[in-house]
Amino acid sequence: MASEHPAITRFRDEHARRGGAGAVVILPDSVHTAALAADALGCEVGAIANSLLFDADGSPVLILTSGAHRVDTAKAAAAVGVGSLRRATPEFVREHTGQVIGGVSPIGHPAPVPTYLDPWLRRHEVVWAAAGHPAAVFSTTVEELLAMTGAVEIDVA
């Protein structure tokens, strides 16, 4: 077996530490969009939990949203109590998550990141999220995501 990317190994360790029960799946190609991930996994795009990192005046905010949604940043900013949420630069994402855009997982960041979850994900018994690398995903449930991340549910769309 080829050696695993260090980001995936770090994710596996953190996933196990937090009691994650889902499977980590390494796909043959990068699945950096919800549509690509859904196609590769044979699931609905809404069952993909996108981990979107935003910049709130220099502080990171992570929103786990259904792949079927676009985040209304004004609505989400009001819900989390910040002035605004801006799309994070690749450098900001790497600094605060240790991961790259397209592979940001809900867990395993260098320091805790305030995390919020889109209740639309509850429509799916199993959801899939990135596992620290653009070609790696893991299966989970909304309840497990909430337990592992300490996320607060907010309306994002």
Kindly state whether residue 102 falls inside one of the protein's structural domains.
Answer: yes
Boundaries of domain holding 15: 6-153
Share of the chain above pLDDT 70, in %: 99
Kindly state whether residue 107 falls inside one of the protein's structural domains.
Answer: yes
Kindly state whether residue 20 falls inside one of the protein's structural domains.
Answer: yes
pLDDT for 123 beyond 90: yes
* pLDDT tens digits, one per residue of 108-120: 999 999 999 999 9
At position 102, the amino acid (one-letter code) is G
CATH number of the domain enclosing 146: 3.90.960.10
Q: What pTM was computed for the model?
A: 0.94
Ramachandran sector of residue 30 (left: φ over 0; alpha: ψ -120 to 50; beta: rest)? beta
Q: How does DSSP classify residue 102?
A: T
pLDDT category, 30, cuts 50, 70, 90? confident
Per-residue model confidence (pLDDT) at position 2: 57
Kindly state whether residue 1 falls inside one of the protein's structural domains.
Answer: no
Kindly state whether residue 83 falls inside one of the protein's structural domains.
Answer: yes
Kindly state whether residue 15 falls inside one of the protein's structural domains.
Answer: yes
pLDDT category, 29, cuts 50, 70, 90? confident
Per-residue model confidence (pLDDT) at position 1: 46
Kindly state whether residue 110 falls inside one of the protein's structural domains.
Answer: yes
Number of domains in the chain: 1
| Chain CA centroid to CA 103, Å | 8
Largest CA-CA distance found in the chain, in angstroms, rounded: 48
pLDDT for 33 beyond 90: no
CA angle (114 as vertex; 139, 97 as ends), nearest 5: 65
Token pair for 21: 């029960």
Kindly state whether residue 67 falls inside one of the protein's structural domains.
Answer: yes
